[in-house]
Structure formats: structure tokens, C-alpha cells
Amino acid sequence: MSRAYRVPAYEASATIEAEDHLSMQLEMLDILPPGEMVRMLREELKQEGWKETSDGEVEAVVGDARARLSADGDRVTVERSEKNRVNVRGYNKDDVNKRLEQATTRAEDTAKKNVVRDLLRVEPEVRESIQRALQRVYVEALKQKAKSMGDVESVREQRGESGELELTIKVKV
């Protein structure tokens, strides 16, 4: 004859979240007034797919991260977060609590590593996007500045052997 035994099972779960960010200070050349330079940068970034937010920032999703240009245009912040749920089972409450603590610690460590890895992976792409936009802003700002100084006789843009842009503007004053 067989007997049935009831073995109590306990379950517990927790939610973990890891987040991190990196921040890049922007210092634009004072070719035109600062407000105009920021406006131009925002417009150039929008042409690269960045979107304006309700709080006056411009942002883009890059990989699993979000990059934001501050409203005043002096800082780019790249943020990444990860959220996971941890579930454990055991045969008594103490065992479940111990397992949950261990599993939560492991999951938090893994999530933190993933977040940092992803930030480091997207950072060069964000920098590249900002640099391309800044270069176009500088070219346009220099052209506008030249017009304000007198009659522009000629504008010549060319790329050097290593890919750098050379801009020559002749102004008759």
C-alpha cells in the first residue's frame, strides 16, 4: 500500500533593475551666438533621426541605449537600464529566502555587466553621430559668419587625404 506525502513547496520572486549612464560635455566653437549654434546642432541631429522631446531635449535610441542632447546643448547623456524578474522554489521559507538572495545578487551582477557593456558598445556610435552633426554645423556657421563680414566671393569645400574637411571662404570686405 502506498502512502501520499504532502511536501510543502515555497516560491518567491523579486525584480531587479540595473541602470547606468555616461555623459559627454559638449563645447562648441563660438562662431555664432551660443543659442544659434545649439539650434543648428539640434536641427542637424534631427536630420540624423534624433527626435525632439517634450522637455526640449533631442534624443535617439542607439542599440539598447537612449542618447539625449540637453536642452541647452552642453551635454550628451547616454542611458541604459535592464530589468529582470528572478523566481526561486524551495521546500522551506528559509531555503527560499536564501536562494532568492543568491539568485538576486547573481542577476543584479549580470544585469550591471550587460548595461555597462552595452553603453561601451554604443558610445562610439553616439560620438560619431554628434561629430558628423557638429561638422555640418561648423561649416554652415562659418558660411553665415562670412556673409555677415562682407560679400562672399567663393566657398570651397574639399576632403584631405585622411578624410578631414577643409573649408576655404573668400570674403570681400
The string of pLDDT tens digits covering residues 3-24 is: 877 667 889 999 999 999 999 9
- DSSP assignment of 112-125 equals HHHHHHHHHHHHHH
In a domain, 3, yes or no: no
pLDDT band at 150 (very low <50, low <70, confident <90, very high): confident
Question: What dihedral angle (degrees, nearest 10) is formed by the CA atoms of 132, 136, 142, 145?
Answer: -130
In a domain, 48, yes or no: yes
Domain that holds residue 103: 10-172
In a domain, 5, yes or no: no
CA–CA gap between residue 114 and residue 92 (Å, rounded): 32
In a domain, 1, yes or no: no
pTM higher than 0.75: yes
Say what the pLDDT of residue 159 is.
84
The string of pLDDT tens digits covering residues 47-59 is: 999 999 999 899 9
Instruction: Please give the tally of structural domains in the chain.
Output: 1
Say what the pLDDT of residue 7 is.
66
Q: Of residues 105 and 91, which shows the higher confidence score?
A: 105
